A and B are shown apart, each in its own frame.
Chain A
Amino acid sequence: MAARNWIFAVAVAVAVFLSLSTFSSAQDLQIVNAERRIDLSSHIVKAFLTLKVENIGKDPAADMLLAFPPTQIKNLAMVQALAVMGKKKKKTYLPLDVKPTEQPDAPNDAGYFLVSFATPLGPGETVTLEVLYILTHSLEPFPVEITQSESQLVYYHDSAVVLSPYHVKQQTTFFKTPSTRVESFTSVEPANRAGKEIKYGPYEDRAPYSYAPVIVHFENNSPFAVVEELVREIEISHWGSLQITENYRLTHGGARHKGVFSRVEYQSRRSITGSSSFNALLAVLPPRVNSVYYRDDIGNISTSHLRTGFKKSELEFEPRYPLFGGWRATFVIGYRVPLEDYLFEAPDGRRYLNFTFGCPLVETIVNKLTLKVVLPEGSKDPSAVLPFTVNQDLQVKYSYLDIVGRTVVVLQKDNVVPTHNVPFQVYYTFKPIYMLAEPLMLVSAFFFVFVTSLAYVHIDLNIVKK
């Protein structure tokens, strides 16, 4: 409740304050048409925003701002923007550079992203942008606790109009709910609901920083699979394989389960009980994966199936017990893939690993992802190349027969969604001679043992001569 009041306060403050404030660059652009489609069908909220932007100033504009209310900015997992080029049939999309930015006079802690146009927008020109942004942890279960037989209802808070530092001439917002069961939604005329869709708008001529808070209360029984922490370790062996170990701490992020868990009802009346719970998960693994295991602290978990394919492999697995709201499960998935698919030699002689970032589980949010790339012993000058910013660190790990330890490139990112599953590269230099170090060590150890026993047999250690 506090949050909602606060949003109202924001809205009022924004309205008063914004009519006075002036933005040097903001005033030069205006949004001719904005269409926003917000997909609420899973617990990852995806918003598709189509903006038609016009430069009404005198100077060419090189970039524009996207604004987000502070409640969303902390849950914002990703913002992507594409410029639509060409006319209807020959549309091509050009990815644009988007980066978070600070505005000194941002009203009420609004957050900003700066979208750089491919070519500066000349006066009077228009451009169409497709913006995708993804929000996590934005569906708030209400009631907070449900029993086994109840369905899960959630709130979604947003604004009926697009928060923008620019004047918006015309705009519409659509909310897509997973089922037709919608308990309530805030009415901001014109607003109506048809089936699984709620439409707000069209609204004409809204001033910059207009805000009209709305709440949608609806049923959402999709699996709220939240990985609180995921540690992925990729160990490179130049002897021919990559060993990947993934430590999951999974929880059901939806409405908390209260009261009894009845096995009778769960197994005999499956369709109406525990509808918000889930007991199966799907992980998309690379093709040609082998030696897959699935276990936890106390041993192997036998409920998993692996389907391998040319494009991808799918691991379907079940935690030991179905997950109800608030229940947790930790487990480890490990697998091996052939090295030649992922390790290449760069033209400058360095080697690089090309692997997929993110979490292999389908439709899950990862609150904290730590990705460790364990380079072979003797590797030097590691550097990681990623399409987005992450925290980077270097560690040393000791594995079998290591003496100096292996360099570990640690990449750490919060709030990761499936859209982050994009390739990244880690470059390093490595001399193949190091590959022989460990076998030679073993050979010499055995040699030493044999020589000692040989010597022992031949040397007489007796003090007294026989």
Chain B
Amino acid sequence: MGAKKASPDLLNSSFSFKSLKLKTKQQELLLRVSILGLVYVLAFIARLFSVLRYESMIHEFDPYFNYRTTLYLTEKGFYEFWNWFDSESWYPLGRIIGGTLYPGLMVTAALIYWTLRFLRFFVHIREVCVLTAPFFASNTTIVAYFFGKEIWDTGAGLVAAALIAICPGYISRSVAGSYDNEAVAIFALLLTFYLFVKAVKTGSLSWALGSAFGYFYMVSAWGGYVFIINLVPLYVLVLLITGRYSMRLYVAYNCMYILGMLLAMQIRFVGFQHVQSGEHMGAMGVFLLMQVFYFLDWVKYQLNDTKLFQTFLRITVTSAILVGGIALGVGTASGYISPWTGRFYSLLDPTYAKDHIPIIASVSEHQPTAWSSFMFDYHILLFLFPAGLYFCFKRLSDATIFIVMYGLTSLYFAGVMVRLILVATPAVCLISAIAVSATVKNLTSLLRTKQKVPQTGSTKGVGSSKSSSKVTLDQSQPFQKNGAIALLVGVFYLLSRYAIHCTWVTSEAYSSPSIVLAARGAHGNRIIFDDYREAYYWLRQNTPTDAKVMSWWDYGYQITAMGNRTVIVDNNTWNNTHIATVGRAMSSYEDEAYDIMRSLDVNYVLVVFGGVTGYSSDDINKFLWMVRIGGGVYPVIKEPDYLVNGEFRVDKGASPKMLNCLMYKLCYYRFGELVTEYGKPTGYDRARGVEIGNKDIKLEHLEEAYTTSNWIVRIYRVKPPTNRL
């Protein structure tokens, strides 16, 4: 506003200054672009904590597989990658990589890498992979801006961009180094939704086409595309029911569905699921329903007779539903349409996995969400969300209906599974942004009109949309002004708390690579436990190249990526029986386990043990899941055998089966000789705070091959069978 009041003599004196002077609209644009630019940068740098604190490295488990495949893609090219049969995992089955992964992430990273190389920036592919997630998070903020602009106004768009840039629910999956599918998928998800809403709003084929391509990218990147292919039809259905059917919707949905489906079939992992799987049938049903609707519309136009049309309507709808139902029934019965998968069931019914599929239930990120983690990940958005819903309902349009549906459904799923908080985050941010933006806008307009009323004496300067608020304003002026100021201060206080909370959460909770553990020493200095990499590098350098390593499936990807050795099972848990076999070996006595290991051709066994350092997510604590998963396939393994009065113990009171099973022996081998903590007896397990029950462990068929410096990873060599001569 300052430039508006530039003194006239200054204008006369210099021409250039006059030409540089910006109009209000240009100023607004400049402000908006610079805010967006800052948000873009902020979203990127807020995710760099782990790089600064640790190093530029890949985090967690799955990203290591993604990194390994990306490396392969950049080295060997796309066709080799697409046809890659990986014999290093799932020994002896192997894995067809091209047909069992979502290639979107790898191809994206490789494209960025090749572009940079073309521009003569010779970066390492690892750096590209590490920074892919922050880069796409930045892009997501831009999409969030446009989305917010589409459903509300530019102000809401800006707030949405700022909120999503630092929202912990999103940061948790997109810090530098978490090179996972979700990193690009959330961008793709939001982009698809945005383009679809835009298409519905304009009825333009080009936006619908864009949306189909967005969907294709999403399908290529993440299995979560199922959410899109179910939410969009649901949305269309709701519009149909609420009488909002229009030609725009018809064009948008048909183009998006048909093209999106055809494109998605190009991804081998997805294949013909769009026409064959139960999870995708809803979309097809809605597609057919649209045609019926269109047809009916046409008939209604042709008939001009209400009574006849009513009859026709009844017949058509009944027969359409009948035909659809029969087709679905026949398809399902003949096996052409596959039933819903376990993961899908467990989403709809949270108790399903616990009873039927222990392997899904064993993953911590598949657990139902606790209230605290909602608070942790959303902070003030949690109560801005209902406020935003209120605003959306007040100004109902096709776009706001969409965001409301997206918000509500995804929030339900977020409650079912912890990891799906991620999917809900953009919706929560957008709806909260509407709340913030609308509130702040109302409040400031209150303040501004009040200032202007005595000065100009007219209310023409204010936008026409706010005429209703002006009326109330004129009635009670002094009280409202103070109230508005107080509320504004309150909003800014809340927003600044949000920023502080987000920074704190990012720095404390979401920026540790989990492959390197850090602890505070006695003098406040930082101690690094780099045992995982120590063990993996040892495997890589000092074992035969064709050695097979058996470990619990959590470490499979890391062993193949960092240790470069063949594993029996890994994090791609596609074969439950194979995992159960490993679980059975781990929970059997040594000689029984030896037979299983011989049959699987195992050379080395790797276990993770936290008894020396007090690292609690080790194999002993995961052990009951191995028993459950093993017992699920092999009934010889019974969970009660490992428990004493329903309690899991490792000390003297533990069950004899527990004290002598392979996992126990491998974890505690020669641990009984060690003093871990001053003033405690030898063999004191710091992770569980007990003295172990079996200190005299003898191994017959295995021998210790390597134990890392803090004992976190222990590797055993399986001895060849003794000569029987």
A and B are interacting partners: yes
Q: Which of B542, B673, B705 has most A Cβ within 10 Å?
A: B542
Whether A302 contacts B528 in the complex (CB less than 8 A), given A264-B673, A264-B674, A329-B541, comes out as yes
Q: Specify which of B57, B120, B674 is in contact with A402 (CB 8 Å cutoff).
A: B120
Given contacts A299-B55, A329-B541, whether A400 and B121 have CB atoms under 8 Å apart is yes
Residues of A within 8 A of B153 (CB): none
Among the 9-residue stretches B476-484, B529-537, B688-696, the one with 4 or more Cβ atoms under 8 Å from chain A is B529-537
Checking B57, B120, B533, B704 against A261 with a beta-carbon cut-off of 8 angstroms, the contacting residue is B704
Q: In the complex, how many angstroms separate the beta carbon of B686 from the nearest chain A beta carbon?
A: 16
The closest CB in chain A to the CB of B710 belongs to A263
How far is it, in angstroms, between the C-alpha of A48 and the C-alpha of B387 when the chains are bound? 89
**What's the least CB distance linking B546 to chain A, in Å?**
16
B670 within 8 A of A: yes
The reply to whether A259 and B703 form a contact with Cβ atoms under 8 Å apart is yes
If the complex has contacts A260-B703, A320-B538, are A301 and B711 also in contact, measured as CB distance less than 8 A? no
CA distance A433 to B205 in the complex (A): 54
State in angstroms the CA–CA spacing of A259 and B704 once bound together: 8
Neighbouring B residues of A23 by C-beta, 8 Å = none
Task: Give the complex CA separation of A402 and B119 in angstroms.
Answer: 9
Task: Choose from B530, B562, B706 the contact partner of A301 (Cβ within 8 Å).
Answer: B530
Contacts A298-B562, A399-B122, A403-B120; is A261 near B705 (CB within 8 Å)? yes
* A398: Cβ under 8 A from any B Cβ: yes
Scoring A263, A301, A401 by chain B CB atoms within 10 A of each residue's CB, the highest score goes to A263
Interface size on B, residues (CB 8 A): 28
Considering only residues 439-456 of chain B, those with a C-beta below 8 Å from chain A are: none
Q: Give bound CA distance, A401 to B540, whole Å.
A: 35
CB-CB under 8 A from B528, the residues of chain A are 302
- B660-715 contacts to A, CB under 8 A, are 670, 673-674, 703-709, 711
Residues of A contacting B120 in the complex (Cβ-Cβ under 8 angstroms): 398, 400-403
The answer on a CB contact under 8 Å between B670 and A321 is no
* Smallest beta-carbon distance B456→chain A, Å: 34
Q: In the complex, what residue of chain B is closest to A300 when comparing beta carbons?
A: B55
- Judge whether A263 and B707 touch: CB under 8 Å: yes
Asked if A260 meets B538 with Cβ closer than 8 Å, knowing A320-B533, A401-B120, the reply is no
**Chain B contacts for A321, CB-based, 8 A:** 534, 537-538, 706, 708-709
Complex Cα spacing A68 to B352, Å: 80
| Contact mask for chain B residues 537-552; partner A; CB cutoff 8 A; 1 contact, 0 none | 1101110000000000
Name the CB-closest residue of B to A265: B670
The A interface is mostly helix, strand or loop, or mixed, namely loop
Across the interface, do B542 and A328 meet the contact criterion of CB distance under 8 Å?
A: yes
A residues in contact with B562, CB < 8 Å:
298
- Are the CB atoms of B57 and A263 closer together than 8 Å? no
**CB-CB < 8 A to A264: which residues of B?**
670, 673-674
Q: Does A330 contact B (CB under 8 A)?
A: yes
CA–CA, A301 to B120, complex, Å? Answer: 29
Q: Does A355 contact B (CB under 8 A)?
A: no
Q: A256 CB to closest chain B CB, in angstroms?
A: 11
| A317-340 interface (Cβ within 8 A of B) | 320-321, 326-330
- Name the contact of B704 in the complex, choosing from A262, A267, A299, A329 (C-beta under 8 A): A262
A327 in contact with B533 given A260-B703, A261-B704, A264-B670 (CB within 8 Å): no
Say yes or no: is A109 at the interface (Cβ < 8 Å to chain B).
no
Q: Are B533 and A299 in contact (CB under 8 A)?
A: yes
Whether B533 lies near A298 (C-beta < 8 A) is yes
Considering the complex, give the chain B residue whose CB is closest to the CB of A266.
Answer: B707
Q: How far is the CB of B612 from chain A (nearest CB, A)?
A: 9
- Of A300, A327, A403, the most chain B CB neighbours within 10 A belong to A300
Q: Mark B34-57, 1 if CB is under 8 A from A, else 0.
A: 000000000000000000001101
Nearest chain A residue, comparing its CB with the CB of B563: A298
Q: Contact flags (1/0) for A431-445 with B, using CB distance below 8 Å?
A: 000000000000000
Q: Is the CB of B121 within 8 A of A296?
A: no
**A299-B55, A400-B120, A400-B122 known; A328 vs B703 contact (CB < 8 Å):** no
Cross-interface CB contact of B57 among A299, A326, A399, cutoff 8 Å? A299
A443 to B467: give the CA distance in the assembly, Å. Answer: 52
Residues of A within 8 A of B540 (CB): 297-298
Q: Which A residues lie within 8 Å of B530 (CB)?
A: 301-302, 320
In the assembled complex, the Cα of A299 lies from the Cα of B50 at a distance in Å of 14
Please report the total number of A residues contacting B with Cβ < 8 Å. Answer: 29
Known: A298-B533, A400-B120. A330 touches B57 (CB 8 A): no
Q: List A contacts of B704 (CB < 8 A).
A: 260-263
Query: Chain A 389-418 against B: per-residue CB contact (8 Å), 1 yes, 0 no?
Result: 000000000111111000000000000000
Q: What are the residues of chain A within 8 A of B674 when measuring CB–CB?
A: 264, 268
Tell me the bound Cα distance from A400 to B536 in angstroms. 32
A320 engages B534 (CB within 8 Å): yes
A256-299 CB mask vs B (1 if < 8 Å, else 0) is: 00011111100110000000000000000000000000011111
**How far is it, in angstroms, between the C-alpha of A268 and the C-alpha of B707 when the chains are bound?**
14
A283 to chain B, nearest CB (A): 19
- Using A260-B704, A261-B704 as known contacts, say yes or no to A328 and B541 having CB atoms under 8 A apart: yes
**How long is the Cα–Cα vector from A329 to B536 in the complex, in angstroms?**
12
Give the complex CA separation of A48 and B223 in angstroms: 71
How many whole Å from B87's CB to the nearest CB in chain A? 21
* Neighbour of A300 across the interface among B57, B538, B673, B709, CB < 8 A: B57
Residues of B within 8 A of A268 (CB): 673-674
Contacting pair A261 B707 (CB below 8 A): yes
- Kindly provide the distance from the CB of B6 to the nearest chain A CB, expressed in whole angstroms: 24
| Complexed CA–CA distance, A320 and B55 (Å) | 16
Tell me, rounded to whole Å, the shortest Cβ–Cβ distance linking B16 to chain A. Answer: 17
Contact mask B163-195 → A, CB, 8 Å, 1/0? Answer: 000000000000000000000000000000000
- With a CB–CB cut-off of 8 A, which chain A residues contact B533? 298-299, 320
Q: Output the least CB separation between B332 and chain A (Å).
A: 47
CB distance A263 to B711 under 8 Å? yes
Cβ B673 vs Cβ A330 within 8 A: no
CA distance A415 to B605 in the complex (A): 38
For chain B residues 97-122, which have a beta carbon within 8 Å of chain A? 120-122
Which residues in B have their C-beta under 8 angstroms from that of A402?
A: 120
Interface string of A235-273 (1 = CB under 8 A from B): 000000000000000000000000111111001100000
> Interface 1/0s, chain B 446-477, versus A by CB < 8 A?
00000000000000000000000000000000
CA distance A299 to B532 in the complex (A): 12
**A-side contacts of B706, CB under 8 Å:** 261, 263, 321
A329 to B534 Cα, complex, angstroms: 11
CA A259 to CA B717, docked complex, whole Å: 9
Q: Which residues of the other chain, A, contact B121 by a CB distance below 8 angstroms?
A: 400-401
Interchain CA distance A25-B176 in the complex, whole Å: 73
Chain A positions within 8 Å of B708 at CB level: 263, 321
A172–B16 CA distance with the chains assembled, in angstroms: 96
A401→B55 CA distance, assembly (Å): 25
Which B residues are CB-close (under 8 A) to A297? 537, 540
- Look across to chain A and name the residue whose beta carbon is closest to the beta carbon of B672: A264
Give Cα A259 to B716, complex, Å.
11
Shortest distance in angstroms between A153's beta carbon and chain B's nearest beta carbon?
A: 23
Query: Given the complex of chains A and B, what is the CA–CA distance between A298 and B559 in angstroms?
Result: 11
- How close is A28's CB to chain B, nearest CB, in angstroms? 55
A contact residues around B57 at 8 Å (CB): 299-300
Q: Which residues of A contact B705 (CB under 8 A)?
A: 260-261
Question: Closest chain A residue to B117 by CB distance?
Answer: A398
Closest to A401 in B: B120
In the docked arrangement, what's the CA distance between A264 and B704, Å? 11
For the complex of A and B, the 4 pairs showing the least CB-CB separation, nearest first, are A263-B707, A328-B541, A300-B55, A320-B534
Q: List 18 A-B contacts (CB under 8 A).
A: A261-B704, A261-B707, A263-B704, A268-B674, A296-B537, A298-B533, A298-B562, A320-B530, A320-B537, A321-B706, A321-B708, A329-B537, A330-B541, A399-B122, A400-B120, A400-B121, A400-B122, A401-B121
Beyond the given pairs A320-B537, A327-B541, 15 more chain A to chain B contacts, judged by CB atoms under 8 angstroms and listed by A's residue number, are A261-B704, A262-B704, A262-B707, A264-B670, A264-B673, A268-B673, A298-B536, A300-B54, A300-B55, A320-B534, A321-B537, A321-B538, A399-B122, A402-B120, A403-B120
